[in-house]
Amino acid sequence: MPSRIYEWLDTRLNLKPVQRTLLDEPIPGGASWIYVFGSVTLFLFVLQAATGMFLALYYAPTPDHAYDSVRFIETEVTLGWLVRGLHHWGASAMVVAIGLHMLQTFLYGAYKSPREVMWMVGVMLFLLVMTFAFTGYLLPWDQTAYWATQIGINMVGTVPLMGDFASRVLRGGEILGALTLSRFFAIHVLFLPAILIAGIAIHLFVLRRVGPAGPWTDERASLSAETFAPRQVYMDAVVIAGVFLAVAALAISIPLPLTDKANPSDTSFVPVPEWYFLFYYELLKYVHGPLEPVATWVLPLCVILIMLFWPFIDRNPVRNPIRRPVALGGGILFLLVVFGLLGISIKNLYAVPRADPSVARGRAIYAQLGCVGCHRIHGEGGAVAPDLSAVGDTRPDREWHVKHFRDPQSVSPGTFMPKFPLSDEQLHDLTSYMLSLKRAT
């Protein structure tokens, strides 16, 4: 049946030339697992677009409702927590995938003539992906989102001549508020996807015009050649499936708690960015005073320009990385600096215990309701009702706890636990406290 449908469409749309263009592209040297990262990145973009569209169905881009709408997605929408988890971890996976794709291109010297334009478009796509990450960070409208974005916009303001104008455009005025949130939402879901789709189309068009680079030696490339289908398609599909399973496993196993709702008056809050910005976060700690602009815009601009025009900086015609010691050494040094700063930042963050503020609020609600009179936690409290010392291990289902607190009889028939008039926020906080109660390890 699928073949008959394809034949019917082919007679009307002439699909075979399209098939030849997409699947019959010859790969010098044959298919390889090292070539999968481009397809993985494209798949992750599709995943981000799909999950983002479902999140947008419930998200309200206003300061009054953004935080509550994200919490509603997490706690009330069926599988909303999973969709948000896929979107969150998919963003991290996309950064990793495009980074590995660029690293493979760099090592194989695939940016050299005649592929300079393809490399430059790829760098622009990488910058767009990082812009996606930055604009999406504000949307939950919690404390971390608000203050991390405030710092990012303030850094834009340090750029000479245009910094003040650019920061006011991003904020939509003098302060970070409703206009900022609506602009970031529009940029994130409308402007950036359109630009990225156009960039991907250009990238693929250039690839089809110049062809894949293949191995870094002409001798290996001339030994054999095969089309993109079927072996390379199979390799791409296997890795894509593995990446999706890994992202899904992270979304299922690691919850994404919100911090408190954004509070512009709480200047004591110290935000921590996502891991892919941590190296830069750590760098800023070492640069102060008059040298601060060096870290906020001079150094990033220099790195971006070097990356963008690298095909014209590296004039060595040889693609073998061993015979390009300057390029290889520069790439290794860059990675050592980035991952060194990332490692230091992660070490410093884990050295300081960080508590979810929702758990603290839930503990306070637990005390206010007098639950300690019936339940025991780590040896303290009554023994009339079940011991809650390890309820986070025995009952890890957030939805069960929410239903239990709303109507105890609905999940525990015969229980003498009364109903408590709790708001959605209080239910969330009390449930967070319950889930934090686990066996000591």
Angle, helices 37-56 vs 80-107, to 10°: value is 150
Last residue of a domain, one of 282, 311, 340: 311
In a domain, 282, yes or no: no
User: Would you give the DSSP letter of residue 372?
Assistant: G
Residue-level pLDDT at 17? 79
Verify that 302 and 371 share a domain, yes or no.
no
In a domain, 285, yes or no: no
Q: How far apart are CA 326 and CA 17, in angstroms?
A: 43
Q: Do 59 and 181 meet the contact criterion of CB atoms below 8 Å apart?
A: no
Verify that 168 and 257 share a domain, yes or no.
yes
Verify that 362 and 260 share a domain, yes or no.
no
User: Would you give the DSSP letter of residue 225?
Assistant: E
Which tokens sit at 33?
């697992």
Three-state SS for 26? strand
Question: In angstroms, how far apart are the furthest CA atoms of the chain?
Answer: 80
Verify that 100 and 11 share a domain, yes or no.
yes
Q: Do 287 and 91 meet the contact criterion of CB atoms below 8 Å apart?
A: no
Last residue of a domain, one of 278, 311, 344: 311
Task: Tell me the CATH number at 393.
Answer: 1.10.760.10
In a domain, 392, yes or no: yes
Verify that 133 and 255 share a domain, yes or no.
yes
Start-to-end CA span in the chain (Å): 56
Beta bridge partners of 26: 227
What is the total count of domains within the chain?
2
In a domain, 332, yes or no: no
Q: How far apart are CA 362 and CA 383, in angstroms?
A: 21
Determine how β-strand 225-227 pairs with β-strand 26-28: antiparallel
Whole-Å CA distances, 258 to 144, 164, 185, 264, 313? 8, 31, 18, 16, 45
Verify that 307 and 365 share a domain, yes or no.
no
57: containing domain: 2-268+297-311
Residue-level pLDDT at 223? 67
In a domain, 318, yes or no: no
Verify that 251 and 147 share a domain, yes or no.
yes
Which tokens sit at 373?
């009179």
Verify that 364 and 306 share a domain, yes or no.
no
Verify that 254 and 389 share a domain, yes or no.
no
In a domain, 101, yes or no: yes
Q: How far apart are CA 285 and CA 270, in angstroms?
A: 13
CA atoms within a 13 Å half-sphere pointing along the CA-CB vector of 91: 22
CA atoms within a 13 Å half-sphere pointing along the CA-CB vector of 380: 5
Residue-level pLDDT at 88? 96
Q: How many CB atoms lie within 10 A of CB 299?
A: 14
In a domain, 254, yes or no: yes
Last residue of a domain, one of 280, 311, 342: 311
Residue-level pLDDT at 354? 58
Verify that 305 and 392 share a domain, yes or no.
no
Residue-level pLDDT at 56? 96
Q: Do 24 and 229 meet the contact criterion of CB atoms below 8 Å apart?
A: yes
Per-residue 3-state assignment (H helix, E strand, C coil) for 188-202: HHHHHHHHHHHHHHH
Q: How far apart are CA 66 and CA 138, in angstroms?
A: 10
Buried b (16+ CB within 10 A) or exposed e, 86-106: bbbbbbbbbbbbbbbbbebbb
Verify that 89 and 214 share a domain, yes or no.
yes
- pLDDT tens-place values along the chain, 441 residues long: 677 887 888 888 887 777 777 777 788 888 899 999 999 999 999 999 999 999 999 999 999 999 999 999 998 999 999 999 999 999 999 999 999 999 999 999 999 989 999 999 999 999 999 999 999 999 999 988 999 899 889 888 888 888 889 999 999 988 899 999 999 999 999 999 999 999 999 999 999 899 888 888 767 766 677 888 889 999 999 999 999 999 999 999 988 877 788 888 877 777 888 899 999 989 988 887 788 888 888 999 999 999 999 999 998 889 989 999 999 999 999 999 999 999 999 888 776 555 567 788 888 888 888 888 888 887 787 777 888 888 888 888 888 888 888 888 888 887 778 888 888 888 888 888 888 888 764
Q: How far apart are CA 163 and CA 155, in angstroms?
A: 8
Q: Do 87 and 48 meet the contact criterion of CB atoms below 8 Å apart?
A: yes
In a domain, 441, yes or no: no
Task: Tell me the CATH number at 120.
Answer: 1.20.810.10
Task: Give the tens place of pLDDT for each residue, 159-185.
Answer: 888 888 999 999 998 889 999 999 999
Residue-level pLDDT at 351? 61
Verify that 304 and 363 share a domain, yes or no.
no
